[in-house]
Amino acid sequence: MSNVLIVGETKNGELKKISKELSTAGRKIADALGGKVIALVIDDKSDAISGELKAVGADVIVNAKASEFNPEGFANIVSAVAKAKSATIILMPHTPQGKDYSPRVAIKCNAGIIADTVGLSVDGGKVVGKKPIYSGKAYGNFKLTSDVQIFTVRPNSQEVIEKAGEGVVEASSEGFGDVKVKTISTDASGGSKVQLTEASIIVSGGRGIKGPENWPILQDLADTLGAALGASRATVDAGWIPHSHQVGQTGKTVSPNCYIACGISGAIQHLAGMGSSKYIVAINKDGDAPIFKVATYGVVADLFEVVPALTAEFKKVLG
């Protein structure tokens, strides 16, 4: 029997979608290996979201109180709960927070870790993690030989399935413990309306938008669709938009349901950051642009004509 510990993530007291993805993935693994799914939430408002985790497969929801993020403190809590619950498989979000504390958890649990997985399965009693390799040009399947196996999972890479677990709620007395890191301040001024790594739809622009004054055209489409605004490295290097919007090998890696590339040629570094998108829509005047080789739908036309027309139609449909 292998218990699966999933570590949820919240924002402003609300459960992030990746938490539900992890719980669904954990349910499949636990069903295959005969264990339980333990969901850990570290938040001072965690009591209010227990029902959401039960609905997607959590058998036990452990609420640990914390008023702020601390990588050392989170690692201490996660490792302690994993030991107390005899969890041999730990799933954590591959988010900025998750990437910060997950290696610390691996050290504390003497565990192997596979980061940025986009697929999880079970073979021969071991979890197999599928992840992009060679800048997203291929995928590799990996197993861990350690007693405790840790995987960080890319947001939007797992399906959320409503399959209720037992949903027993427990309060944890675990705290941060002895930590050497302290949060001095937090600056969220550079954040976008919708976070790139968590967005289901991304509208992204490249040099084809011709200048920073034309971002509102793409932002209007993004706002209409409830999407995040992305950008290529060329536009960031040109100073047209902050680096927080950059998608690619030197920016953010995303896996949205739909990626709309406007005026982006499709350099390999950019494709490495968005190639795992479920649907890719490319709008470019150059019919030979590399982006069309990976696009699900391609529009060879002027984005300044296509994007406003798309926005107008979506506004009609979506009200």
Using CA atoms, how far apart are residues 292 and 315, in angstroms rounded to an integer?
Answer: 26
Q: Do 76 and 176 meet the contact criterion of CB atoms below 8 Å apart?
A: yes
Segments making up each domain of the chain, as ranges: 3-172, 196-318
Q: Please provide the average confidence, as pLDDT, over all residues in the chain.
A: 92
What are the tokens at 133?
């390799």
- 210 pLDDT exceeds 70? yes
Architecture of domain 196-318: 3-Layer(aba) Sandwich (3.40)
Q: Would 3-172 and 196-318 be classified into the same CATH topology?
A: yes
pLDDT per position as a tens digit, 138-176: 899 999 999 999 999 999 999 999 888 888 999 888 888
Contacts of residue 37, Cβ cutoff 8 Å, sequence gap at least 6 = 3, 4, 6, 23, 26, 27, 30, 57, 58, 59, 60, 165
Antiparallel, parallel or unpaired: β 119-123 and 126-133: antiparallel
pLDDT tens, position by position, 255-266:
999 999 999 999
* 3-172 topology per CATH: Rossmann fold (3.40.50)
The angle formed by the CA atoms of residues 21, 25 and 28, to the nearest 5 degrees, is 145
Name the pLDDT band for 192 (thresholds 50, 70, 90).
low
Could you report the per-residue pLDDT of 50-94, keeping only the tens digit for each?
889 999 989 999 999 888 899 999 999 999 999 999 999 999 999
Report the range out of 12-21, 74-83, 195-204 with the highest average pLDDT: 74-83
